[in-house]
Amino acid sequence: MLVVMDEIKQTLKTNGFSGDVEDSAEKLEFYSHDASMFEIKPKLIIAPKTANDVSLAVKLVTDSKRKNKELSLTARSAGTDMSGAAINDSIIVDFNRHLNKIISVKKDKAIVQPGLFFRDFDAKTGDYLLPSFPASKDLCTVGGMVNNNSGGEKSLEFGKTDKYVPELKFIFADGIERIVKPLDRDGLNAKMGQDDFEGKIYRDLFELIDKNYDQIKAAKPNVSKNSTGYNLWNVWDRETGIFDLTQVIIGAQGTLGFTTEATFRLVPRPKHSGLLVLFMHDTHQLGSLIKTVLEHKPATFESFDDATLWLSIRFMPSFLKVLGPVRFIHLLITLIPDGLQLLRGIPKLILMVEFTGNTEEEVRAKIRKLHKELSHVRARYEINGFEEDATEAKSEKFWIMRRYSFQLLRSKVKDKHTAPFIDDLIVNPEYLPEFLPKIRQVIKKYKLFATVAGHMGDGNFHIIPLMNIERESERQKLLPAMKEVNELVLKYHGSLSGEHNDGLVRGPWLEQMYGRDMVDLFRDTKHIFDPQAIFNPHKKANADWDYSYSHIREKF
């Protein structure tokens, strides 16, 4: 294999690859990890400078694959994937290093390269916003968001990334970059009439979806957000006559090909926002509370638990690095009243209900109305926000705890490690009062110390256990705990992933969720796009638990 990689390196150079090609021990070690609990060492890293570089690499691997079955390409942007989908044992293609430019921003439309950090993009979109940003918004790239179909705190109001990508540039397995966008019947017929690889993809995928139309539509998970499987149900609509290939590519985790450019539709950035924070000491009234809050149609409805709160307090000084001195001091000052409150006992659950509007008065009125209606719920309330520039100044402390808890766990707790394996389940919020205590029982049964934070309004929870997964005895908990959690999620008609996607960790359980026939359709889809399996193997529908299990991190 090393000889093969030497040949690949040589051929890339002679064919005019203009990016970086690396295989030093430090680089291979660095690219062995993403934010998941897995570890796989690649053999080569390439960081393309142009789409042509990406094409060259894809063509080369396609041509060499017949002789060297182990060759593959895995895209990586910022590497914050929690499912293990940004690592692999062959060639990693780093999009973040060079393919990170904004091509144009015009009010509600932006065209960008995939390796662009969301934070840099967001700073340039003025009065408009890409609203599907994840909690990792300061760390991730827009390409990662597209390929994971990311969502976050604003998804309750705006949905996920798949709603905001009207057009993509995509490199298919034949190494050719093409535009992908929704087509009407004439456009689809024209594509299907082409005598090339693209024509075959459109023909084969149309046939697959049309033949299994009812089964595919019925398989769509009945939750507000889903990142499992391939979004086949959103591709072909017999009623509108629209065939939209972007929908199967978004969220495919780079298993079908590579995104080289994305067009985003942006929404007006809310001018004013305000937060109603509820500190709940007992959660018996959670069911009626969720119902009431959702009836008021908040912009966001987030939550985190007592373990997350403790963690944030314990590691408060580390926020200095994230925030800088001025914001950090402000954070400490705003925390004083909460510190006094905590002396009266740690709340079990903190709920954050955010409203937005065009004027401060409008936001205030919305918050007051909900506050009044919730007066029967035993909880302490805090109302804050209303910043002119929506910088969240006073409410920032809650957002920080909500968004940064996983990062804190990863970087600060040294004797144990984050093990995201039940980190993204979602059920309809109506089931939460029954579902959450049952999930807590599983966590207790396996003696897992875990933080639970999430998007209450969507019923989407991030459970992050802290474990010594380098120990066999701890690793052995993973399979039975995961099976029990999955069964519970499916019993309540949920999905195993609302946002974080399948990768190595959830791919093996797609059959449990969708059944064999549907997983066969996912595998057929992968084969249509990637007949030689050059893109990101062992992920999503082609994942296998034995393989994933054998790559759980052993050293930290």
Interface residues with ligand FAD (CB under 6 A) are 34-35, 74-82, 85-86, 95, 114, 134-136, 140-141, 143-145, 147-148, 150-152, 253-254, 258-259, 406-407, 499-500, 536
Comparison of 78 and 482: residue with beta carbon closer to ligand FAD: 78
Comparison of 145 and 370: residue with beta carbon closer to ligand FAD: 145
Comparison of 134 and 357: residue with beta carbon closer to ligand FAD: 134
Comparison of 91 and 481: residue with beta carbon closer to ligand FAD: 91
Shortest approach of ligand FAD to residue 324 CB, angstroms?
19
Shortest approach of ligand FAD to residue 346 CB, angstroms?
23
Comparison of 357 and 494: residue with beta carbon closer to ligand FAD: 494
Q: What are the distances in angstroms from CA 380 to CA 341, 356, 435, 499?
A: 9, 22, 24, 31
Shortest approach of ligand FAD to residue 117 CB, angstroms?
8
* Cβ-closest position to ligand FAD: 144
Give me the residue label for tokens 């207790």. 444
Q: What are the distances in angstroms from CA 291 to CA 298, 319, 367, 433, 488?
A: 12, 34, 16, 11, 22
Comparison of 386 and 502: residue with beta carbon closer to ligand FAD: 502
Q: What are the distances in angstroms from CA 30 to CA 23, 39, 79, 416, 555?
A: 11, 10, 10, 20, 13
Shortest approach of ligand FAD to residue 364 CB, angstroms?
28
Comparison of 154 and 397: residue with beta carbon closer to ligand FAD: 154
Comparison of 357 and 507: residue with beta carbon closer to ligand FAD: 507
How far apart (Å, rounded) are the C-alpha atoms in residues 40 and 309? 33
Shortest approach of ligand FAD to residue 538 CB, angstroms?
11
Shortest approach of ligand FAD to residue 530 CB, angstroms?
12
Shortest approach of ligand FAD to residue 148 CB, angstroms?
4
What is the CB-side half-sphere exposure of residue 472 using CA atoms within 13 A? 0
Give me the residue label for tokens 């595998």. 523
How far apart (Å, rounded) are the C-alpha atoms in residues 22 and 45? 5
How far apart (Å, rounded) are the C-alpha atoms in residues 240 and 184? 8
Given a contact cutoff of 8 angstroms between Cβ atoms, the answer to whether 373 and 292 are in contact is yes
Comparison of 229 and 254: residue with beta carbon closer to ligand FAD: 254
Shortest approach of ligand FAD to residue 288 CB, angstroms?
27
Comparison of 169 and 191: residue with beta carbon closer to ligand FAD: 169
Q: How far is CA 77 from the centre of its chain?
A: 13
Amino acid identity, residue 256?
Answer: L
Shortest approach of ligand FAD to residue 511 CB, angstroms?
20
Amino acid identity, residue 279?
Answer: F
- Dump the DSSP string for 470-498: TSHHHHTTHHHHHHHHHHHHHHTT-BS-S
How far apart (Å, rounded) are the C-alpha atoms in residues 449 and 169? 43
How far apart (Å, rounded) are the C-alpha atoms in residues 173 and 171? 7
Comparison of 153 and 474: residue with beta carbon closer to ligand FAD: 153
**Closest of 149, 52, 151, 168 to residue 111, by C-alpha:** 168
Shortest approach of ligand FAD to residue 55 CB, angstroms?
13
Token readout for 185 is 């019947």
Q: What is the CA radius of gyration of the chain?
A: 23
Q: Is the CA virtual torsion 332, 420, 494, 248 positive or negative? A: positive
How far apart (Å, rounded) are the C-alpha atoms in residues 491 and 495? 10
Amino acid identity, residue 119?
Answer: R
**Closest of 484, 434, 487, 483 to residue 459, by C-alpha:** 434
How far apart (Å, rounded) are the C-alpha atoms in residues 291 and 31? 44
Q: What are the distances in angstroms from CA 117 to CA 30, 34, 97, 144, 145?
A: 19, 16, 10, 9, 10
Shortest approach of ligand FAD to residue 455 CB, angstroms?
8
Shortest approach of ligand FAD to residue 344 CB, angstroms?
30
Token readout for 261 is 């450019």
Comparison of 140 and 518: residue with beta carbon closer to ligand FAD: 140
